[in-house]
A and B are shown apart, each in its own frame.
Chain A
Amino acid sequence: MQNRRLWFLVHGWLSLPVWLLFCFICLTGSISVLSHEITWLANPDARADNPQGLPARPLPELVAAVEEAVPGANVGHVMVYEPYLVTAISFSASGIPNALAYVNAYTGEVQAINDGFSFIEFMRSLHGWLLFPWQAGYSVGYYLVSLMSIVALGAMVTGVVIYKRFWRSFTRPGIRLNRGARALLGDLHRLVGVWSLWFLLIMGLTGGWYFAQAVLWHTATDIWTHPDPVALDELPLTDGTPPERLPLAEAMATARQTMPSLKPSLVSLPEHSRDYYSIAGSGDAWLFDQYSYRVLVNPWTGEVAQAREPAVMNPLQVITHLADPLHFGTWGGLWTKAIWFVFGLLLTGMSITGFMIWVSRTARAVRETRQSPAGEYAADNRLAVEDARS
């Protein structure tokens, strides 16, 4: 019993000092999971309506649409989202260092142009590193958030130990509604906790990986090695007029030939004359993220400079490309996202009920020790045991 009391204390020590921060991270994470759907609901310009059932146009046509809408536009990236959302194309132009065009992939219409702000990116940054600025390879916020994995795993393990016969929450789930607020809070906390064990485990493990990744970034340990820039002598020499580089459509055709299953989700145009086209997307491999397949194409020779896909990945690269779909529940589409969202909210609620239980527990402890001089420890100990029972 004494041992269980210790675990009970550890459960509180881990969670109580950071419960509000943890709560905030769970809440912003839950919103992040559905950020695409929220964008669709909140911003009509972000919807790719397709009443005529047209096929999606090739990405180079969408780039051309932006270049036509904004003369002198210099396109950087093309981001393809779910079929019901616009394709976002980042560009700069005269007097506009950074902008984002929302293009309907079915009609080719540029529906909106904004200054580069996107709710999806904002939520990811708020959840992922609390908007702490990035220094050379690290952000203090990223460390802070990923360290919350210790809270998630710790609360999970200690919770299972102190909650005797926790599996009864599966076999005989129940909440006592008529035994006062404290019993209700405790029942809710335990029931939700047990049903969220798998979710806490996934969040804890992927969060722990994000911490490891932060260390790798900080120490400049490459997970993927990027090919050196194109050698200068591979670039044409002309009479001074800029030469034509390989068109985007050809670079994408090369990528498709290299990886027939590649469905592009992030296409990056060369950032300078010695840079490559980068065509990244998803493919056949289950659970892998939407950048697991990537082809780098030399814009002058048309050669493939690098081809990345799950089949050639080392374990570290596999983990890198599995973490996000598991963490954000995007691997199975809308259904898994909905499940992740609900459990994210349940976790948000657990940090609140956990704190409320502690508040009512300590309030009662004070009340009871006032009535009998048995001392704080005795009251606290008894309550701990009571909590562990049930």
Chain B
Amino acid sequence: MKSIDEQPARWKYCLSALLLILPAWFYYQSLNPELPPEWSEQRVGPFTAAPTPADTQPAYVYDGVSLKDFSVRFCEGCRARMRTAYLVVGPEPAAIPAGYDGIVHGHGSYAHVHVPYPERPAPEHRLWLTVQEWDGRLHQVSWPLPQSREVITSSAEVQAQE
């Protein structure tokens, strides 16, 4: 029989209080968000755009699709002049998506995108932004991905009628 001469360890049953430190920490974090640096602002047709990844983590898989979240800062008042805008990571820009993945959404100049993003991007993969104006003109621009960012080449803009 174990000794019961000492007081029972009440503190053990209070350990769950330690979990309550986490909400305070998360609240502090939400007040002081640490965003990765914004990528270089580029011209895309008559507009400008600068993407910022939501975090430094690799892509996540949701509903079988590998995605990474970005915010995009467009020039003031420019989003209203776009018929559609979407982002994708790949060797070349993708066709207009049928679903929601990759579509630039949100209100105002600060937009959000769930970008289709390979779990292991290849060296030739870039972040492609496609913008269409209301007259149908398409503009494309791309950014190198972090691991290949030492080679920052300015990307060619493609203009095409729809």
Interface residues in chain A, defined as those with a beta carbon under 8 Å from any beta carbon in chain B: 16-22, 24, 72, 74-76, 90-94, 97-98, 126, 130-133, 135-137, 141, 144, 220, 226, 228-229, 232, 235-243, 269, 271-275, 355, 358-359, 362-363, 365-366, 369-370, 375-377
Contacts and interface: CB of A to CB of B under 8 A. Distances in A.
Contacts of B110: 92, 97-98
Contacts of B105: 271-272, 275
20 contacts: A16-B13, A17-B13, A24-B20, A75-B107, A92-B106, A92-B110, A94-B76, A228-B98, A228-B99, A229-B98, A229-B103, A232-B84, A238-B134, A240-B135, A243-B134, A272-B84, A272-B106, A273-B83, A359-B10, A366-B5
A204 B17 CA distance: 22
A75 B107 CA distance: 7
Contact of B19 (A21, A240, A275, A355): A21
Pairs A-B, 4 closest by C-beta atoms? A92-B108, A220-B63, A74-B108, A131-B26
A241 B46 CA distance: 13
A21 B17 contact: yes
A269 B108 CA distance: 12
The contact size tier of chain B is 35 or more
Contacts of A229: 98-100, 103
B107 A91 contact: yes
A358 B8 CA distance: 10
Contacts of A135: 60
B7 interface: yes
B61 interface: yes
Given A19-B13, A376-B4, A271 B107 contact: yes
Given A76-B107, A239-B135, A376 B1 contact: yes
Contacts of B2: 376
Contacts of A126: 23
Contacts of A93: 108
